[in-house]
Amino acid sequence: MSHQLAARIAGFLFLISTSSYMYADTILSPLLRLPDFLNQAAQNQSTLALASLLEFINCAAVVGIAIVIYPIIKRYSERVAIGYIAGRVIEAAMLTSGAVMLMTFGAMGEKLAVSSVMHSEQLYIMGSALKTERYFSFLMGMIALAIFGFLLNITLFKYRLVPRVLAGLGLLGYVMLLLKVLFDFFDVSMGGAWMYIPGGLFELLLPLWLIFRGFDLSVEPQAGISGK
């Protein structure tokens, strides 16, 4: 596979990843925020199944991105290339566990329909606990993405594999993502949803650049750099 073809495939995988996860979140958020979310889950199992499938597609796509660009990044830093794969695998594992929980909500909702009042309360307690676990799995996945995405963008910036303005936006975006996730993880009331904007913009512009322009490989890696 040529490096430019790999770049284009990575670009399409970025778009698939972003669009699939965003659509899954769009159809899930209104449902899971309802007080009777387990009842709603039982009545909307097709929605849960679709969202779970979309989240799985996202997980497969993010790992695919790291694998496809591995030979390119390895030329400049083997450790970053391997680390980026590791980070994306961690992210995918965390998000996959959350996707599986969606189908659990549907099963719990079905049991709720034939349960006593006391048993219903227990199911909602368990459901709320699973919903919290899903949320923290998401945060852990985003921590891995932010750290290894930042390291990737250092390499992109240093060797001008993409325009430095774009790589700089990636560096800013992943720093902001890490701060936002850490604030949420420790329940610190700072920042807001706007902190996702730089990273979201980067993950929209980067794939478009990769699809239409690819990586600029004109800067040769330094001798012996692949192990750094």
Do the Cβ atoms of 158 and 64 come closer than 8 Å? no
pLDDT for the residue numbered 221: 83
pLDDT for the residue numbered 223: 57
Ranges of the chain whose pLDDT falls below 50: 226
Each residue's pLDDT tens digit, 191-207 = 788 999 999 999 999 99
38-64 residues labelled b (16+ CB within 10 A) or e (exposed): bbbbbebbebbebbbebbbbbbbbbbb
Region of residue 187 (left: phi > 0; alpha: psi -120 to 50; beta: else): left
Each residue's pLDDT tens digit, 71-116 = 999 999 999 999 999 999 999 999 999 999 998 998 888 888 777 7
Do the Cβ atoms of 203 and 145 come closer than 8 Å? no
pTM for this predicted structure: 0.91
Give the residue carrying structure tokens 């990044």. 73
User: In the chain, what percentage of residues exceed pLDDT 70?
Assistant: 96
| DSSP E strand boundaries for 83-216 | none
* Number of Cβ atoms within 10 Å of the Cβ of 219: 11
